[in-house]
């Protein structure tokens, strides 16, 4: 992608485990194991998957909040994965994060205005007066009142706290905002308000979002392109319309068929596609396709040969032996 703001190439994040005894073999959790994608300016890239798929670890690695084992992360013309010390601190002005839990991500001993101004002070963006004025401006933009600047986090509701987190993320005027399930801890009505706020701010500032979520409804509303992760790897990646309109990977089918439907039956009245068993351990992934032990369509080749994430339609990539080169997927039940 020539106009990519964020370019992630073959990202790997492995966590060594402590040995039970000095003579025990080394064990490593392969949380992220070869992930690549690109995100253009002003666009939103969503990553979905069940718990333990590696989506949050991917976000933390992009932010350099967890150590990268190998691979490259580039933000524009800068290599984030290669920066250290003061150079990394300066680069953080360009990329900020909205955390999942608005109750634990704010310092309870700081007033709201100081929380929003803190990133500017730490990164030496503007004078003290400019930081205070910027905090007031951001409060207004996220829908909070100026008289609330002096309140403490416990005096706000959950939705208001997340608005403070959004204002803090925008304080340094970043180009990229990493959103780690920013609405999952909120009530449904408040979720809609926060999502609409994120859309409005993106249009106003030209922000790029890396959006992590397990909620496919939220992803379908907000994201331009979506990647599906399973056990540390991407199994499908496509523009939003293609992924939700014509998914190709059996794991994506299972995720979509699990979305509750209100007021209408599933196509042809078919039952949802249920997955049996739990995902394999990321410590010792199985040979071949990592999804093969739970896939109802798996063949002998799937259990022996690892599929490559390949493009079968323009912008649509899938890692499945059963999907033909022309993008024809195996016959599936009409559950989506």
DSSP string, 254-286: HHHHTS---SSPPGGGPPP-PPPSPPPPTTSPP
Helix (H, G, I), strand (E, B) or coil at 252: helix
Helix (H, G, I), strand (E, B) or coil at 292: coil
Structure tokens at 39: 């995100």
CATH of the domain at 106: 3.40.50.300
188: in domain? yes
102: in domain? yes
| Residue 165 binned pLDDT confidence (cut-offs 50, 70, 90) | very high
CA gap 140, 120 in Å, rounded? 17
233: in domain? no
Neighbour-count burial for 212-245, b at 16+ CB within 10 Å, e otherwise = bbbbbebbbebbbbbbbbbbbbbbbbbbbebbbe
* Residue 33 contacts residue 40 (beta carbons within 8 Å): no
Q: Are residues 98 and 190 in the same domain?
A: yes
Per-residue pLDDT, 272:
67
Q: What's the mean pLDDT in 132-144?
A: 94
| Residue 265 binned pLDDT confidence (cut-offs 50, 70, 90) | low
Q: Are residues 259 and 328 in the same domain?
A: yes
* Ranges 58-72, 179-193, 226-240: which has the least confidence: 179-193
DSSP code at position 18:
P
Per-residue pLDDT, 2:
52
Per-residue pLDDT for 268 more than 70? Answer: no
Structural domains in the chain (count): 2
Q: Are residues 57 and 114 in the same domain?
A: yes
Q: Are residues 174 and 311 in the same domain?
A: no
Q: Are residues 165 and 301 in the same domain?
A: no
Structure tokens at 272: 């949802």
Q: Are residues 210 and 251 in the same domain?
A: no
| Residue 222 binned pLDDT confidence (cut-offs 50, 70, 90) | very high
| Residue 152 binned pLDDT confidence (cut-offs 50, 70, 90) | very high
CA gap 156, 178 in Å, rounded? 23
- The order of strands in the sheet holding 44-48 is 95-98, 176-180, 208-212, 44-48, 225-230, 233-239, 316-318, 310-313
DSSP one-letter string for 196-223 = HHHHHHHHHHT-EEEEE-S-HHHHHHH-
Q: Are residues 169 and 258 in the same domain?
A: no
**Domain final residue, candidates 188, 223, 258:** 223
Per-residue pLDDT, 276:
75
Per-residue pLDDT, 259:
76
Residues 238, 243, 249, 254, CA torsion sign: positive
* Residue 306 contacts residue 288 (beta carbons within 8 Å): yes
- The order of strands in the sheet holding 27-40 is 27-40, 4-17, 70-75, 78-79
For the entire predicted model, the pTM comes to 0.91
CA gap 231, 146 in Å, rounded? 45
Per-residue pLDDT for 270 more than 50? Answer: no
Q: What's the mean pLDDT in 134-142?
A: 95
Q: Are residues 176 and 218 in the same domain?
A: yes
Task: Please state, in angstroms and as integers, the Cα–Cα distance from residue 26 to each residue in 68, 112, 168, 286, 329, following that order.
Answer: 19, 46, 41, 17, 39
Q: What's the mean pLDDT in 157-182?
A: 95
Quickly list H helices, the chain.
55-62, 85-91, 112-122, 128-141, 158-170, 188-205, 216-222, 240-245, 250-257, 300-304
Helix axes 158-170, 188-205, angle to 10 degrees: 20
286: in domain? yes
Residue ranges making up the domain that contains 273: 246-336
240: in domain? no
Q: Are residues 58 and 193 in the same domain?
A: yes
Q: Are residues 65 and 195 in the same domain?
A: yes
290: in domain? yes
| Residue 336 binned pLDDT confidence (cut-offs 50, 70, 90) | very low
Average pLDDT, the chain: 90
231: in domain? no
Q: What is the pLDDT of residues 1-35, one digit of tens each?
A: 457 899 999 999 999 988 877 778 888 999 999 99
Per-residue pLDDT, 261:
62
Q: Are residues 47 and 132 in the same domain?
A: yes
Per-residue pLDDT for 151 more than 60? Answer: yes
φ/ψ (deg, to 5) at 125: -105, 100
Residues 195, 251, 237, 31, CA torsion sign: positive
Q: What angle do CA 301, 214, 267 make, to 5 degrees?
A: 70
Per-residue pLDDT for 303 more than 60? Answer: yes
Q: Are residues 255 and 208 in the same domain?
A: no
| Residue 271 binned pLDDT confidence (cut-offs 50, 70, 90) | low
DSSP code at position 246:
S
For the chain, what percent of residues have pLDDT higher than 90? 70
229: in domain? no
| Residue 335 binned pLDDT confidence (cut-offs 50, 70, 90) | very low
* Ranges 54-63, 187-196, 270-279, 291-300: which has the least confidence: 270-279
């Amino acid at each position: 992608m020539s106009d990519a703001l964020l370019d992630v190439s073959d990202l790997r994040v492995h966590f060594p485990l402590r040995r039970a005894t000095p003579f025990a073999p080394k064990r490593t959790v392969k949380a992220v194991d070869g992930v690549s994608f690109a995100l253009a300016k002003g666009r939103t890239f969503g990553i979905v998957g069940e718990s333990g798929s590696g989506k949050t670890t991917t976000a933390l690695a992009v932010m350099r909040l967890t150590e990268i084992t190998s691979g490259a992360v580039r933000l524009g013309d800068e290599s984030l994965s290669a920066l250290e010390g003061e150079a990394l601190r300066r680069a953080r002005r360009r990329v900020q994060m909205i955390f999942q839990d608005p109750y634990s991500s704010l310092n309870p001993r700081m007033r709201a205005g100081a929380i929003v101004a803190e990133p500017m002070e730490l990164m030496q963006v503007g004078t003290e007066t400019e930081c205070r004025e910027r905090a007031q401006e951001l409060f207004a933009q996220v829908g909070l009142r100026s008289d609330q600047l002096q309140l403490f986090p416990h005096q706000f509701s959950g939705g208001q706290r997340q608005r403070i987190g959004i204002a803090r993320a925008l304080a340094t005027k970043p180009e990229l905002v990493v959103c780690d399930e920013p609405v999952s801890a909120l009530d449904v009505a408040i979720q809609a308000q926060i999502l609409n706020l994120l859309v409005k701010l993106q249009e106003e500032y030209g922000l790029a979002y890396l959006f992590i979520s397990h909620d496919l409804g939220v992803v379908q509303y907000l994201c331009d392109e979506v990647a599906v992760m399973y056990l540390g790897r991407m199994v499908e990646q496509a523009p939003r319309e293609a992924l939700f309109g014509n998914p190709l990977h059996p794991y994506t089918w299972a995720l979509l068929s699990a979305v509750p439907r209100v007021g209408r039956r599933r196509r042809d009245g078919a039952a949802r596609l249920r997955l049996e068993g739990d995902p394999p351990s990321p410590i010792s992934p199985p040979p071949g396709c990592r999804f093969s032990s739970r896939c109802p369509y798996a063949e002998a080749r799937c259990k022996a040969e690892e599929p490559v994430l390949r493009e079968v339609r323009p912008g649509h990539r899938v890692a499945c032996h059963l999907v033909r080169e022309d993008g024809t997927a195996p016959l599936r039940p009409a559950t989506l």
